[in-house]
Amino acid sequence: MIYLQVVEGLHSIRYSARPGEFKPLHSSAIGKALIGSMKEAELRAFLQDRPLPAATGATLTDRDRLIEDLLESRRRGYFLTRGENVPDVWAVSAFLTVNTETLGVAIAGPRHRMEGTITEHAQLLLATCSFIARQWTRG
C-alpha cells in the first residue's frame, strides 16, 4: 500500500506519514481496508501464501486471525489497527470505489487520543467517504 495524500493534524504529538511511503497491507489500516474490500474467496486466496511479518508486537501475523478481523471489520463497515503498524498508533479506515479504483482513507493518531473516540472517527470517516464517492459519480 502506498500513501497518495497525507493531511497531518495540528497536535504536536501525532502520527506522521509522507506521500509515496509504502506500508504493509496486513498491518496498516488502509491496507486492511483494501484487502477487506475483496470478496471473501478473493481475500482468502490473496492471503494464502503471503508472508505476514510483524511490524510490531501487536501485528496480526496469524492468517486465520487476520481473516477473521478483516471479515468482522467489513461487517462493521470500517477497519481498525491498534498499534499493529506503529506502536501506540491507532487508526480507523474505510474503502471507497471511484470509477474502477478502490481507495482507502484513514484517520490515525496516538492511542491516548484515538482509543475513546474510534466510533466517532469511524462515523465521520464513513460519511466523508460517502460524500467523496457521490462527488466522483456525479462527474
Q: Is the pLDDT confidence value at 3 over 60?
A: no
Q: In which element (H, E) is residue 46 found?
A: helix 40-47
Tens-place pLDDT, residues 65-93: 999 999 999 999 999 999 999 999 999 99
Place of cell 474503502: 95
Q: In this structure, what DSSP letter does residue 115 have? A: G
Query: Would you place residue 10 in the very low, low, confident or very high pLDDT band (cuts 50, 70, 90)?
Result: low
CATH (one of 3.30.40.10, 1.10.3720.10, 3.30.450.40, 3.40.50.300) for 29-138: 3.30.450.40
At 20 the pLDDT is 72
Amino acid at 29: A
Q: Is 104 helix (H, G, I), strand (E, B) or coil?
A: strand
Q: Do 118 and 90 contact (CB within 8 A), yes or no?
A: yes
Place of cell 471479515: 71
At 98 the pLDDT is 85
Q: Is 85 helix (H, G, I), strand (E, B) or coil?
A: coil
